[in-house]
Amino acid sequence: MKVELTAQVEEMQKQLEDLKYRVLVEQGEAAKSNERTKAGNSVLQEVIQKQHVELATMQAQLSCHLQRNINLHTPAHTIIHLGNDREQRHKTLMSLRNRKIQEAKRFITARSQGLDPKSAYSQEERTTKPGDDYSIVHFDTVPIRGASARDVFEAFIDVAQNAEIVLTEMFGSLTIRENNEIDAREVSQMRLVTSTSQGTLVESNTALFAKFVEKGDDEEENYGLVVADFVESDKLYPYKPKERVKRDSTTVFMIRTLKPRSENTDDKEKLKSSDQERVVVATRWTYTKIRRSQMNLSVDALQEVQESTVSFGDTMKKCIQLRLGKTDISVPHKP
């Protein structure tokens, strides 16, 4: 009996030694595996960081280009000179309309290429230098639910052509419109003067061009385009640089209804799903410049003009949403 127990103990000890050996081997392999994983993660992290640096370099190059060339010719801007004759003024604007619409669509389509239409996106860049112009470039694209492209298009024009009312009632800045021409949906002009809380007068002279297309290309069911561009010189309503701060702005606004992904199908459920995928997307690009003033403005007065320029776009957007009622405009949150 003792001999048998001794033999069992020896066998168990042998098995234990074997287990210890296997554990040591497995631990060694695990250690090697961990080392390989760490090495792989390190390489991956290095690659990711390199990509971040390359992307940052590209962004820096774009920012440098914008900073150095922001005072040069602006995308979607056309030099507009208007004379005294009212009929000729209208003809001048009408002659520019088709070209403005075509150039604006090409630009805004390229600027929004590749962006997810169902997600809101916003980007803003500001450039300022002591004694120089103050410039803002803003771009955003937002999906809209609860309104058609035509509804948004009409609301945008209504708000833009009544900007003096919007600025006075919603923004709190007394604004008057100096020109009295009758507005048309396709072409109009707004000569505005706004007074800030510190009494600074800010003037702008903007021509508005608009077009709505019921049937777009292969990707769009319909779309509307509005181009607002500042007037370079106006003999009937000349600028007054010694009395007012001049604000120039160029805006391209496109509203479009994207076609559903799946159309050629007999499956009613798929058709229903496709209808739900239909997206109305609003895209806006704005370049605004506060011209270097000949007036001796205080730092606070100048800062108020700059801040009001930034807030103006948000006020217009809020007013459009109010016009549309319970429409969901997915505005990107500002950082």
Q: Over the stretch 213-244, which tens digit does the pLDDT of each residue have?
A: 987 555 567 899 999 999 999 999 999 999 99
Distance CA 38, CA 40 (A): 5
For 48-69, write each residue's pLDDT tens digit: 787 888 888 887 887 787 777 6
Does the pLDDT at position 170 exceed 70?
A: yes
Does the pLDDT at position 204 exceed 80?
A: yes
Given 3-state DSSP classes, what are the helix, strand and coil percentages for the chain, each rounded to the nearest 5?
A: 45, 25, 30
Distance CA 17, CA 12 (A): 9
For 80-137, write each residue's pLDDT tens digit: 999 999 999 999 999 999 999 999 999 999 999 999 988 999 999 888 877 678 889 9
H-assigned helices in 70-122 = 86-111
Name the pLDDT band for 249 (thresholds 50, 70, 90).
very high
Q: What's the confidence (pLDDT) of residue 309?
A: 82
Q: 234 versus 258: which is more confidently predicted? A: 234
CATH of domain 79-329: 3.30.530.20
Q: What's the confidence (pLDDT) of residue 220?
A: 62
Q: 274 versus 42: which is more confidently predicted? A: 42
Over residues 135-163, the mean pLDDT reads 92
Q: 128 versus 163: which is more confidently predicted? A: 163
Does the pLDDT at position 211 exceed 60?
A: yes
Does the pLDDT at position 334 exceed 50?
A: no
Q: 186 versus 306: which is more confidently predicted? A: 186
Of the chain, the percentage scoring pLDDT greater than 90 comes to 43
Q: What's the confidence (pLDDT) of residue 111?
A: 94
Burial letters 87-124, b for 16+ CB under 10 A, else e: eebbebbeebbeebbebbbebbbebbeeeebeebeeee
Distance CA 137, CA 45 (A): 34
Q: What is the CA radius of gyration of the chain?
A: 31
Over residues 25-31, the mean pLDDT reads 58
Does the pLDDT at position 4 exceed 70?
A: no
- Number of Cβ within a 10 Å radius of residue 127: 17
Q: What's the confidence (pLDDT) of residue 43?
A: 60
Q: What's the confidence (pLDDT) of residue 31?
A: 59
Over residues 274-285, the mean pLDDT reads 78
Q: What's the confidence (pLDDT) of residue 216?
A: 54
Residue 109 φ/ψ, nearest 5 degrees: -65, -45
Q: 193 versus 332: which is more confidently predicted? A: 193
Over residues 146-173, the mean pLDDT reads 89
Distance CA 322, CA 328 (A): 10
Does the pLDDT at position 331 exceed 60?
A: no
Of the chain, the percentage scoring pLDDT greater than 70 comes to 75
Q: What's the confidence (pLDDT) of residue 214?
A: 87
Contacting residues for 115 by C-beta, under 8 A, at least 6 apart: 121, 141
Does the pLDDT at position 13 exceed 90?
A: no
For the chain, give the mean pLDDT: 82
Q: What kind and span of H or E run contains 296? A: none
Name the pLDDT band for 333 (thresholds 50, 70, 90).
very low
